[in-house]
Chain A
Amino acid sequence: MKKFCDLNLRVSLRDSVLAEKMIKKASTLGYSYVGIPLPANVQSEIVSKLRQLCADVGIDFITRVNLVPKKPGELLSQLRGFRRKFELVSVACLSKPVARQAAKDRRVDLISFPSLDFRKRFFDVAEAELASNALASFEIEMCPLLSSAGFERIRLLSNLRKEVAIAEKFSIPVIISSGATNKFFMRTPRDFAAFSCLFDISPSSALSALSENPLVIVKRNRAKLSSDYVAPGIRVVRRGKDCGE
């Protein structure tokens, strides 16, 4: 059975009642993993509280940070500071130099673009080529698609169709996340998969974008963040006295 993942559930960290409702909703909708964007300087008590809320409803909590750098240098310094503190690092690309830097940096997990600012959607062939040599996945938020209407949605769908075709051509994993700020923008994974058909993702690819693709990133990063990790392909299997046996 597929395990589904919503990597971008924007719960309010101030309103714990609303956060609890959204996490419970995610559980009833069939999600097994939930990624919640946290501020870079988040307190450990908030993280443990969210982890407990998720554990109470049987959901695996993923810590995520959304970086919004203005320049490539700022991105590099933020990555140096926060990469090892969060399980998932997403970069919102607001300029082309930042987008290019994010695509080629192996510490970046997700690249995203402003949904409704069409001149700032820099996911083109050059961007995809860079991302294909690194580990970045292309994230699509569903909330702007649900909340927009008319010409705005038409244009967004048209852009997404082109970007998804480029991503598939360069074998870049696509990640579909809700980006929901309240429970009215949350949907079941299969509803999101059906909705994704509007920008020409096949049903099986859409389901992968909600399950296998995000889980690959989470597993990889958790392995890297564990104390047993040494380098790619090298990890500690025994310690202390066990080594003699």
Chain B
Amino acid sequence: MTENDTEREPPGIGPRDWKSHPAYVSPEYKSTVLRGPTKPLVPITHSLSELTGPVYGAECVGELDHDLTRNGIKDGEPLGERMIVSGRVLDEAGRPIRNTLVEVWQANAAGRYIHLVDQHNAPLDPNFFGGGRCVTDDEGRYRFLTVKPGAYPWGNHPNAWRPNHIHFSLFGPSIATRLVTQMYFPGDPLLEHDPIFLGTPEIARNRLISKFSLDVTEADFALGYIFDIVLRGPDQTPMET
């Protein structure tokens, strides 16, 4: 380590792009009205507190954590349409974000979460848990095996249904890059009726929709979807070389 290294600052992170992210108060999504901050956010100059973050590597991922078709098995296979979801985690400059934790949770094929608060009258699947995690590889890739989550009703308005979705949580290199989001499916007719999806600026909505991929699909086994995720990147675009 040179003297310069000890003086090294972690790389800067560019601003949150508010044209890409939902506003805090989005009246069509009723719960936001009493929960979203209403005063303007206070600007902050990033310090080490924002430019560092927890590091979770391969050591925190169990052997079956990425495989939701097997990590909840009690006495058989989970019911539903098996699927693979994979993609790359990139920064805004298109560089892979390596060795970062990706956590997921979802409903089962019938649209029911194992969560005790979920009282939707659809069956639980004794062989499906619905939670998983993995760490991205050197190319920023992650991959989960699961079953396609079902749609489910919620109380936002009469006859409100959530489109099929998988919840994602990512860290990236620092607190500033933290992201929790949801992945949706192409062609879902519920998307245009969902205040959570529609709370996203229109220009950015298609980034939440995965793509069906025959390349990721495995014959006689599971359909494949690609969902690439872009986290906030360097505050200066690196020179193209």
Do A and B bind? no
